Amino acid sequence: MSTQSPTRPELAAIVRKVTLRLIPILLLMYILAFLDRANLGFAKAAWQADTGISDAAYALGAGIFFLGYAVFEVPSNLIMRKVGAKIWLARIMVSWGIVSALMMFATNEWIFYILRVLLGITEAGFFPGVILFLTYWIPLKFRARVNGLFYFGAPLAFIFGGPLSGMLLDLDGKVGLHGWQLMFLVTGILTVIIGIVAFFYLDNGPKDAKWLSEGERSTLLAALEAEDSAKENHSPRGALRALANPVVLYFAAIYLTIQMSVYGVTFYLPTQIATIVGKPVGLEVGLLTAVPWTFALIITFVLSRLADSTGQRRLIATCALAAAGVGIVLSAVIQDPLIALAALSVGAAGFISVQPVFWTLPTSFLLGAAAASGIALINSLGSLGGFLAPVLKNWADATFGDNAGLIILAAIALVGAGLIALSKVVSPTVRETDGVGLATTTTTGQR
């Protein structure tokens, strides 16, 4: 390994090369993961009309996915750390793609529930696996912006996937299948194909990357090792201790509020836009759903880079999640279609852009097995928001009237923003490397 300290431009050039290599395939994988979840929202009206499944059953099935997902997150990440990312991420994609395609047979409540649980189990570990995988490649100094590029998957899933799903729904009966059946089948097959490609394309870490020169590998590994050394005194020791660590649990509580705002809107966004514009869910509504996600993509790009360049990660994450709460509540109470769509765009931009910045906070002090289990636990407990949000929204709407659910979810997002702002109190002080192996003392929460 080289003994010379790399310069910032030198390391930045290597990170750019790594980003160009990894992000396209990881982004495509995440697009399919998010589209798989969002498809349920697109299929909702037509699928319920064909099967007679109630709103309550839909809400339960939408959320029950996250129970199996949450239970298997930590074991999945620990297995990935042992067997390597390329095998495990590929396995996750292929298995969830098969189950996703089988959703075309969800013609009654019990089949729907069973497939949703299986889908959660098979997809468990994908997202925290990628977050952990990126810590093997990207120094903290550059991580928010790279995380941000990965998070483009959610907006892109709607920008391109929304019209695709709408188009497939419009093909109802054209090929002997209902439109919603065709939608689940096509996206499931695409997921299996990309999972196979990922196995042959990904490398487990910089040491395996033949597309990096020896000097580039040494420089990148030196920066990452310096960062790991800075975490030594602050990370929990071992996987089990991370699971009971109060700081990890605090970040899990924050992520729960974020995910409740995400999935409380995502599962209902197509039908909400259809209501706003007075049109049925189809290609036209699919195109309109691209508007909030295009805005979210732009804001995520800007804020993730601003977070890295200024170091004010906590402040930026706080403002983004607060904006999400305000946007969600305004979209619920404003009657004008254009203003409501604009408010929904602000909400979507807030809850998407907060996430890549948020993940720099726990990953800045978690190390080794603690990182594998801690990241998975945060995502696992946070993802329970995907179970709670639709159930809470459905209950609130039934109890207090339309839009009550969205208002409650908006309030939860504002609580999350407050928790991020207060994370300075609980976050450990670590020495953050400046990206070239030099350490500076800083507070994780302030970054």
SS3 content of the chain, % helix, strand, coil (to 5): 80, 0, 20
As averages over each run of 10 residues, the pLDDT of the chain (447 residues) reads 55 94 93 79 81 84 80 90 93 94 91 92 91 92 92 79 77 84 91 95 94 93 85 70 84 92 69 70 70 88 92 93 91 78 88 92 83 88 80 85 84 94 71 44 37
According to the model, what pLDDT value does residue 1 have? 43
Separation of alpha carbons 119 and 15, rounded Å: 34
Q: CB–CB of 26/130 below 8 Å? A: yes
Q: What is the pTM of this model?
A: 0.82
Rg of the chain (C-alpha set): 21
| 3-class secondary structure, 440 | strand
Q: What is the largest CA-CA distance in the chain?
A: 68
Separation of alpha carbons 409 and 396, rounded Å: 10
Q: CB–CB of 322/354 below 8 Å? A: no
According to the model, what pLDDT value does residue 428 have? 60
Phi, psi at residue 341, to the nearest 5°? -65, -40
According to the model, what pLDDT value does residue 367 have? 79
Report the DSSP beta bridge partners of residue 442: 430
Separation of alpha carbons 374 and 366, rounded Å: 7
Q: How many Å from the N-terminal Cα to the C-terminal Cα in the chain?
A: 30
Separation of alpha carbons 443 and 250, rounded Å: 16
Separation of alpha carbons 145 and 139, rounded Å: 11
Report the DSSP beta bridge partners of residue 431: 441
Separation of alpha carbons 380 and 296, rounded Å: 24
In what helix (H) or strand (E) does residue 115 lie, and over which residues does it extend?
A: helix 109-123
List the structure tokens of 5: 């300290």
In what helix (H) or strand (E) does residue 429 lie, and over which residues does it extend?
A: strand 429-433
Phi, psi at residue 432, to the nearest 5°? -85, 130
According to the model, what pLDDT value does residue 281 have? 62
List the structure tokens of 411: 């309030």
According to the model, what pLDDT value does residue 231 have? 72
Separation of alpha carbons 377 and 326, rounded Å: 28
| DSSP letter for each residue of 269-324 | HHHHHHHHHT--SSHHHHHHTHHHHHHHHHHHHHHHHHHHHH--HHHHHHHHHHHH
CB proximity list for 147: less than 8 A, separation 6 or greater: 131, 134, 304, 355, 356, 357, 359, 360
In what helix (H) or strand (E) does residue 442 lie, and over which residues does it extend?
A: strand 439-443
